[in-house]
Structure 1
Amino acid sequence: MALMIGASGLLNDTSLAIASVYFRYYLYQALNMAGFGNDYLNWLGIWKQNLEMGLTTWAEMDDVNRSRSDYHAWGSSPNIELYRIVLGIDDYAPGFSKVKIEPHLGALTNASGTMPHPKGDIKAAYVLANGKWNIDINLPASITGKFVWKDKTFPLKTGKKNYS
Structure 2
Amino acid sequence: MSRLILFNKPFGVLPQFTDRGTVSPRPTLSAYVDVPGVYPAGRLDLDSEGLLLLTDDGRLQARIADPRFKMPKTYLVQVEGEPGEPALERLRTGVALKDGPTRPAIVARIDAPELWPRDPPVRFRKTVADCWIALTITEGRNRQVRRMTAAVGHPTLRLVRWRIGDWTLDGIAPGEWRDASG
Q: What TM-score results when the alignment is normalised by the length of structure 1?
A: 0.26
Q: Which has the higher helix share?
A: 1
Which structure carries more relative contact order (alpha carbon 8 Å, separation 6+)? Answer: 2
**Greater C-alpha radius of gyration:** 1
**What TM-score, normalized to structure 2?**
0.24
